[in-house]
Amino acid sequence: MAARQPAESDRASVNGYTIKAFNVTGSKIVAFEDRPIPAHVPAALVRKEYPIIFGTTTDRDPFNDLAASVHEGPEIIYALHAYPGATAAWVPRRAQHQRTIFLDTEHFSSSGGTIFAKLLGETFKLSPSELDPPAHGPFRSLMASQFTPKAMARLEDQIRTHVRDYIARLAAKGSCELMSEFAFEFPIRIFLDLMGLPQERIKQFVQWEKDLIHNHDVESITETARSVIAYLRAEIEDRKSRPRDDLITFAVQARHQGQPLSNDDLIGFTFNLFLGGLDTVSTNTALHFLHLATHPDDQSRLRANPAEIPAAIEEMMRAYGSLTVFRTCIKAIEVNGVMFQPGDHVSLSATLSGRDPDEFPNPAEIRLDRKPRHMNFGYGNHLCLGRPLGLRELRIAMEEFLSKLPPFRLAERHVVRYHLGIIQPMELPLVW
C-alpha cells in the first residue's frame, strides 16, 4: 500500500520545525491540534518551544545546543509537543527527578508508551517494557535468563566475525557512509541470529526499522507494523511445530506462572526485541563514532589504550543520550513542587539527564574515564534487558574499527542532520 501523502492539515510548524502531527485515541487517528492547558498546570511551566520533538529533524547540535537550552529553564516543564503525536507531556530535566519517576510504579505507569498496538487495533503490550507491577516482575525474571552477561558472552566471536566482515568490505574504499554501510545492518545481523531468522532478510528488516521509527506518515507506520507483526506471528507458529535453538522457540516453550505465554505476550516480547535490539545499537554506534571522528585526541587515546573502550562507551552514552521513554500518571502526586494528575504524560529523556549540570560537573566535557551513572538504557526495574548485549556490540564494533582502520574523520563540509525523538544522525560519511 502506498503511503498517503500528508495533507497541510496534518502538519504543524513549531519553533521552525515542521512535523507530521497526529494523535491516537483507541484505534482512531485524530488530527493534531493544540489542546487547552489543564487547570493544574502553572502557566510559568508551559513551554511551546521545547526543541526535542518527535517527528522532526534538525542540523542543530541536540546535546550542546538543544539539551543545554532546556537546562536553562525550570527543573520540570510542561512541553506542548514532547509526547509522540506532538502532544503535551511533563519533562523533568534533572536526573534525580527522572530516577524518582522511574522507580515510582504506584503513581506512574509504563503502559501505552508506544502507538503500534493502538494503530493496529490490537491489545498486546511491549513485554516487559510496557508492563507494570505485578505483571512486570515475573515476566522480566522469566526473560532475563536469556540476556545475562554470561549468556551474551557466548556471542562474542559471532559478533566480532560480523564486524570484521563489514570492515573487510569497507577498508580499501577509504571512506564509508556509516549509517547505511554498517550501523543500520550490524545489530540486525545479531538480532536475526538470536531469533533464528534468515540473514537474507536483512534488507527488509532495515527498511522496516526505518519505517517504524523514523517515518512519520501514520498510514505507512501502520502498514509496516502490520507487516512486522504478521511476520512474527508466522515465525511463532513455525516454532510451535519446528522448535530450534533461538529466542522465539524459548518464548513459545516458556511457562509464565505455570501457563504458556499468551498470543499477546508472544507478540509483545518478540516485537519489543525487534524495536529495542535494532535501533538502540545503530543509534549509539553512530553517535560514538561521530564523537571519535570529530575528537581525534580521544580516538588516538582509545587506539593506544583499547582497555579503556568500555568506560569510554559509558561516558559517551551519558554525553550523547539518545533515548526518551514515557510514563503516564495514574495517581496524583507532587514531584519537586509540581502536581502530576492522572492522565498526564511524562517524557523521560536520557538526552537531558545525561547533560544535567547538577548531576555531572561540566556536562559538555567528554571525560572518557568519568564512569557516569546514565539512563540511556532506562533505570530501575525497567533497566533494559538487552543492556549486556548492546554494550558488547558497541565495544566490539569500536575495538575492531580502531584496530583495523586508519584514523577516520568526518567528511569535509558535511553538516550532520539528526532525527529527533530517538536522536540519530541521518547520514554519517567518514573518511580515512
Convert the pLDDT of each residue in 49-101 to its tens digit.
898 887 788 999 999 999 999 999 999 999 998 987 778 999 999 999 999 99
Residue 371 burial by Cβ neighbours in a 10 Å radius (0-12, 13-18, 19+): exposed
Residue whose C-alpha cell reads 567528554 in the numeric block: 366
Cβ–Cβ < 8 Å for 42, 239: no
Q: Does residue 18 form part of some domain? A: yes
Q: What is the mean pLDDT of the chain?
A: 89
Query: Is 1 domain-assigned?
Result: no
**What pLDDT band is residue 25 in, cutting at 50, 70 and 90?**
very low
In a domain, 296, yes or no: yes
**Does 214 fall in a domain?**
yes
349 — phi, psi (to 5°)?
-100, 120
* pTM for the predicted model, two decimal places: 0.89
Rounded Cα–Cα distance for residues 272 and 254 (Å): 17
pLDDT at 216: 66
Residue 3 lies in a domain: no
The predicted-structure confidence for 327-351, as pLDDT tens digits, reads as follows 999 999 999 999 999 999 999 999 9
Query: What pLDDT score does 35 carry?
Result: 67
Is residue 2 a part of any domain in this protein? no
Q: Is 306 within the bounds of a domain? A: yes
Under DSSP, the state recorded for 304 is H
For residue 254, give the 3-state DSSP assignment.
coil
DSSP string, 111-153: TT-SSHHHHHT-----TTTT--TTTHHHHHHHHHTTS-HHHHH
Q: How far apart are CA 15 and CA 262, in angstroms?
A: 45
Strands 255-256 and 259-260: antiparallel
Band (pLDDT 50/70/90 cuts) for residue 13 is very low
Peptide bond into 128 cis (omega under 30): yes
Three cell numbers, residue 170: 569497507
AA letter at 424: Q
Q: Which amino acid does the sequence have at 222?
A: T
149 CB-contact burial (10 Å; exposed 0-12 / middle 13-18 / buried 19+): exposed
Q: In what order do the strands lie in the sheet with 324-329?
A: 46-47, 76-83, 87-92, 345-349, 324-329, 108-109
Q: What is the DSSP string of 213-248?
A: HT---HHHHHHHHHHHHHHHHHHHHHHHHS--SSHH
Count the domains in the chain. Answer: 1
- Per-residue pLDDT for 116 more than 50? yes
Model pLDDT for residues 386-420, shown as the tens digit of each residue: 899 999 999 999 999 999 999 999 999 999 999 98
CA angle 149, 154, 157 (to 5 degrees): 125
Higher pLDDT, 49 or 293: 293
Whether the Cβ atoms of residue 112 and residue 130 lie closer than 8 Å to each other: yes
Task: Check: CB of residue 15 under 8 Å from CB of residue 51.
Answer: yes
Do the domain assignments include residue 134? yes
Residues 40, 50: Cα–Cα separation, whole Å: 20
Dihedral (Cα; 289, 290, 294, 299), 10-degree rounding: -10
Mean pLDDT, range 321-326, rounded to an integer? 93
- Domain with 251, as residue range(s), is 8-431
* Chain centre to alpha carbon of residue 163: 22
Whether the per-residue pLDDT at 367 is higher than 50: the answer is yes
Q: Are 322 and 349 in contact (CB under 8 A)?
A: no
CATH of the domain at 88: 1.10.630.10
Q: Are strands 175-177 and 108-109 parallel, antiparallel or unpaired?
A: unpaired
pLDDT band at residue 34 under the 50/70/90 scheme: low
Nearest Cα residue to 125 out of 266, 307, 321, 328: 266
pLDDT value for 30:
36
Least Cα distance to 58 among 18, 22, 7, 11 occurs for 18
Q: How far is CA 90 from CA 78, 203, 218, 335, in A?
A: 4, 38, 24, 11
In whole angstroms, give the CA distance from residue 116 to residue 125. 9
The alpha carbons of the chain give a radius of gyration, in whole angstroms, of: 21
CA distances 104 to 7, 380, 429, Å, are: 40, 10, 42
